[in-house]
Amino acid sequence: MTSNKHTENIIEQHSHYGTLVARIGIGLVFLWFGVDKFIHVTNWIGWIPDWMARIIPISLIYFMYLQGAIEAIIGILMIVGYKVRFASLVAVITLFGVEIAMIGTGQTEMMLRDGGLLAASLSLFFTGSNCLSIDNYLPQRK
């Protein structure tokens, strides 16, 4: 029993690494997809449903570049741990929009993946992640 309790204590002492892992993982996904939107912009345009393409007020190429820039910035902010709550809120809003856009497309696997990312991003919004982050070293405003 002592070994089990010792293991639980070690896990509890290092529980803050859970948010670090989530933050870095989500950040890498957003950075990857953001950069990829600049490299393969026409591939990404194909994912925009017709109903959404009709209401987007700019060209779809510029829309994808804008979306790619937003996602890359989210990714960088998450990875370095700067303004994690803000970045995660923007991630939640972005992923919610993606989920809405995918309704009725039959892309169930993508919706489930993005739903998981949305839930993890929402968790980071509520918890923040100061473990190994720039936010941890900045003075706190009161």
117-132 pLDDT, tens digit per residue, is: 999 999 999 988 877 8
Q: What is the mean pLDDT of residues 70-92?
A: 96
* pTM for the structure as a whole: 0.87
Domain assignment present for 142:
no
Give Cα separations from 76 to 89, 97, 135 (angstroms).
Answer: 14, 20, 13
Q: CA-based Rg of the chain, rounded to a whole angstrom?
A: 18
Give Cα separations from 134 to 32, 69, 105, 128, 140 (angstroms).
Answer: 21, 21, 39, 12, 12
pLDDT score, position 45: 94
Give residue 18's domain range.
2-137
Residue 10's pLDDT band (boundaries 50, 70, 90)?
confident
Per cent of the chain over pLDDT 90 is: 64
Report whether pLDDT(142) > 80. no
Domain assignment present for 111:
yes
Domain assignment present for 130:
yes
Q: pLDDT digit string (tens) for 25-49?
A: 999 999 999 999 999 999 999 889 8
Domain assignment present for 100:
yes
- Tally of domains in the chain: 1
**Among 59, 88, 62, residue whose Cα is nearest residue 73:** 88
Q: What is the mean pLDDT of the chain?
A: 90
pLDDT score, position 2: 59
